[in-house]
Chain A
């Protein structure tokens, strides 16, 4: 109980609350502008979190992500441009509601579902994370090796369209992680004589490049239609009644979202699509789906934000990111000297619970801030890209520069931005590469440690029960595409 009180006190500090509010407003702005995504917002926020204490830094990321994910529903509903891939699951229903003249109903339901789903996700996070952490304290390098490989395999094979291209992206990320001085032997690897590369590729400039710079390039090369400013009615009218009527969709969506989000590599995108499919299958009126019906919107909207919270479970407990946003969070935790893993629950439990509380606050703030952004959405949508895209570029530049105070960071951002853009143009997903960069060292370190421990015996990787279970899971994931191909023949 003392831990809870300490954690609560950490969060209710004026500076932390102010940070949450500012990050929320920033998240709303980024999410509501068509083309700007939650991951991009989080990537741009990192240089600022660099100068904050751990709690406000993580709270800012949590708040920005939660707000931006919800605000991403606005261009989805009004313009049929999903703000995030997860919003794409219910964009047809939300847009159809708008076309019927009820944009406030579509956005109000998204807001209510996001808030409920987020709160359900946080509650599950608060229950599951400490329990899992207790189990994880017995983990050795073998289990961590398999966990890292499981997370990477899920991200590359399950979470992407083309498994092969996902694996290529992952291998690129793992190679990037090798750049710099090898921790074990002190051997410089792939540094090409550059002193700057001795310390490895800057994770944050690479991230800003792949998520933000490439997004700018995609924006300037894509066609934009003239935006319209819709008339908004009262947001809360009939909202409570509909949400009460759809309570089972809310709970099912929140819980399934949190559970799917907790699987390493499977983020809000998969959760939202699965929830939409489940809602349709369980519905008495599946024919209404896609034509402005509220069931799928509520369930997948709740799953969307539930998954956002769920993704923090593997991140905090095992140090394995659940999605792209938590991959960034891991980088920030390391920057703050906090190594994610079960030990963080023992050493600094108040910090972990403070993160949970800040997540809860951020989700509760969705209601007042959500109402505000819905009322103001007409202004966000009519912002001309000619003015805000150069501003985003300037933020990318200053953010990449600020990490090491060198122009090398900006050059790294530019190179990775171009690579990220080329990847996406060719259907190669970017997220596995980022996870590879984040987890590459962990994977190599735990593998080498295990091999030294077991004298090079590879079968020892299956010698412990949990490790064997994880290993089998990884093998099943790897074999699945081969079996799928053979069956199709």
Chain B
């Protein structure tokens, strides 16, 4: 997803403005010249200036160039990477680490063109290995679910 330089410049200007406006409700310490708002305002101002320069010197090109992969299977794979991560966030607390992690590894492998049996083997082995390293050896309180309750 490639945007024209002037679009990037406009985004920087808007972001700079947002950063500065976000500092208006910062309370200042009495007698303090350089309070909490000082540094973010410099950042916001610099963003606006760089954005302006970017807009002024932008070369003419389409506003947005859609990459060729977006029409092929790569688009599904890229969406799947994001979706399985969101899925993990949504279900891990209920399903537990082992099941949710195995699920996302398996799902992503299949979408990426892996074979069912190998994908299943990789999913089970890796999620068990990660659980053993982080959950058991390093004692990280990973999300618990049905399988963890049996262990």
Contact = CB atoms under 8 A, between A and B. Distances in A.
11 contacts: A48-B138, A165-B54, A187-B36, A190-B22, A384-B113, A389-B112, A394-B104, A395-B130, A426-B3, A426-B8, A448-B38
Interface in A393-426: 393-395, 397-398, 401-402, 405, 407, 410-411, 413-414, 418, 422, 425-426
Interface in B84-131: 84-86, 88-89, 92-93, 97, 101, 104-106, 108-109, 112-114, 118-119, 122-123, 126-127, 130
Interface of B: 1-3, 8, 12, 15, 19, 22-23, 26-29, 32-36, 38-40, 43-44, 46-47, 50-51, 53-54, 57, 67, 69, 74-75, 77-78, 80-82, 84-86, 88-89, 92-93, 97, 101, 104-106, 108-109, 112-114, 118-119, 122-123, 126-127, 130, 133-134, 138, 140-143
User: Main SS of chain A's interface residues?
Assistant: helix
Central interface residue in A167, A386, A405, A452, by most chain B CB within 10 Å: A386
Contacts of B19: 175, 190
B40 A189 contact: yes
Given A185-B27, A384-B114, A386-B113, 9 more contacts: A185-B32, A189-B23, A220-B77, A391-B105, A394-B104, A397-B85, A405-B140, A425-B1, A426-B3
A164 interface: yes
A88 B66 CA distance: 27
8 A-B pairs with the lowest CB-CB distances in the bound complex, closest first: A386-B114, A386-B112, A187-B36, A390-B108, A220-B77, A182-B36, A390-B105, A444-B39
Given A190-B22, A221-B69, A447-B39, A410 B85 contact: yes
A425 B34 contact: no
Contacts of A394: 101, 104-105, 126-127, 130
Contacts of A167: 46, 50
A300 to B, nearest CB: 30
Contacts of A223: 69
A385 interface: yes
Could you say which of B43, B109, B113 has the most chain A C-beta atoms within 10 Å of its C-beta? Answer: B43
Contact of B92 (A47, A213, A407): A407
Interface of A: 47-48, 51, 164-165, 167-168, 171-172, 174-175, 178, 182, 184-185, 187, 189-190, 213, 216-217, 220-223, 384-387, 389-391, 393-395, 397-398, 401-402, 405, 407, 410-411, 413-414, 418, 422, 425-426, 428, 444, 447-448, 451-452, 456
Nearest to A51: B138
A388 to B, nearest CB: 9
A353 B26 CA distance: 45
A249 to B, nearest CB: 39
A167 B8 CA distance: 13
A189 B130 contact: no
B69 to A, nearest CB: 5
Given A220-B78, A390-B109, A451-B34, A168 B54 contact: yes
A168 B104 CA distance: 34
